[in-house]
Amino acid sequence: MDCSILNLTLFQRGHVYAPDDLGQQDILVANGKIVAIAPTIAAKDFPGCQQVDLHGDIVCPGFIDQHVHLIGGGGEAGPHTRTPEVRLSRLVEAGITSVVGLLGTDGITRHPESLLAKTRALEYEGISAWMLTGAYSLPSPTITGSVDRDVALIDKVIGVKCAVSDHRSSAPNSAALATMAAQSRVGGLLGQKPGISVFHMGDSPHMLEPLYDILTNADVPITKLLPTHVNRAEPLFQAALEYALDGGYIDITSSIDEPIDPATAIVTALRHKVPLSRITLSSDGNGSQPEFDEHGNLTGIGVAGFESLIGTLRQLVTQHKLPLEQALRPLTRTVAEFLGFEHKGRLAAGCDADILVLNQALEVSYLWAKGKAVVKDGKACVKGTFE
């Protein structure tokens, strides 16, 4: 057999977390897919394959970041505070192989069409990318004219986003929210997509009431409604714990340090018996980080990065003593399960070869996205088209 046409790579002697701890294993990759994982795979059986000796380093799935402002966010203090587009190198150097892009406060000067173009660009440049239609306000800005048509007909659109319980939202009523979530759900059914609805959560006293109103007024499963930024306020976080215990997913933001840092939020949720299968972690990368006073006036603004993902993983393991296989779940398998991505978030035969190698200090050393090397010695070895 001519193995060259299979683009074979054999990863040897890595300590594999799939994210379950499999111990030392070899991984065989062909044409961007994992085809075998075993304690020993003989290179002589696959002439011409590329061999990568990992010397016992940690091998795990590439991170899935499901909340990224791919074309930038911000604008709360005027046009000069619009944050820039995401660069490919920043994503991969943070261990990210899959992203979901979305819009934020500014659904006026930024558009789903532009987001779709950026999503396609990142896919072309080497990683996996999807997007949510909509923005903060309702009615949702869309590409085709409706949420259900966007989700059903546009390959990269997997759901919708809006904002609730926030002074920057459009104060949508229960009926409008229920319609939006139902449209995303039906669009998902028609297009074989997850059909999710993601809710930017503010810190108003209404907290998760809008999501419970949807459950009351529409037959949308709780597993399709995701509140994000739930660690931004203590009362909101407590409400999110109850929501997760009711069967919903909750998304913790790694770039929010106060009042509850992401690692503390995760271990607190576990102490309250929230299963890891209901907790996800995302960066809010390239989104703005505005600060408001008690009157709602903007007092400062920053930009969220991506390093907080791997930083949270380190905190979970080194400070909170969470086993690595558990600490990886909110970044890998749980996100993939929520999004319905059977080929992502785990290392197994048939899955995409999104392979992240961490050193013993839990720092990103190497990364392969769909079998292609994108990070070497902690630095991106691929760049975006205009980097």
Catalytic residues: 284
SS3 280: strand
Please tell me the distance from the alpha carbon of residue 316 to that of residue 313, in angstroms, as a whole number: 5
Amino acid at site 296: G
Annotation-wise, does 366 bind a ligand? no
Annotation-wise, does 80 bind a ligand? no
Please tell me the distance from the alpha carbon of residue 339 to that of residue 363, in angstroms, as a whole number: 26
Annotation-wise, does 161 bind a ligand? yes
Annotation-wise, does 168 bind a ligand? yes
- Residue 187 DSSP one-character state: H
Cβ atoms of 161 and 103 closer than 8 Å:
yes
Placement of tokens 């075993």 in the chain: 38
Pairing of strands 21-30, 279-282: unpaired
DSSP codes of every residue in 132-195: EEE-SSSSPP-SSSSHHHHHHH-TTEEEEEEEESSTTS----HHHHHHHHHHHHHHHHHHTS--
Nearest CA among 301, 331, 335, 336 for reference residue 316: 331
DSSP codes of every residue in 344-360: SSS-STTSB--EEEE-T
Q: Which two tokens stand for residue 195?
A: 């059909």
Annotation-wise, does 232 bind a ligand? yes
**Residue 35, number of CB atoms within 10 A of its CB:** 17
Nearest CA among 181, 168, 23, 158 for reference residue 101: 158
Annotation-wise, does 383 bind a ligand? no
Annotation-wise, does 67 bind a ligand? yes
Q: How many CA atoms lie within 13 A of 50 on its CB side?
A: 14
Annotation-wise, does 120 bind a ligand? no
Annotation-wise, does 69 bind a ligand? yes
Annotation-wise, does 15 bind a ligand? no
Annotation-wise, does 206 bind a ligand? no
In angstroms, how far is CA 76 from the centroid of its own chain? 24
Please tell me the distance from the alpha carbon of residue 16 to that of residue 69, in angstroms, as a whole number: 31
Annotation-wise, does 111 bind a ligand? no
Pairing of strands 21-30, 33-38: antiparallel
Cβ atoms of 39 and 11 closer than 8 Å:
no
Q: Which residues are known binding-site members? A: 67, 69, 74-76, 105, 136, 161, 168, 200, 229, 232, 284, 288
Q: Which residues are known binding-site members for Zn(2+)? A: 67, 69, 161, 200, 229, 284
Q: Which residues are known binding-site members for substrate? A: 74-76, 105, 136, 168, 232, 288
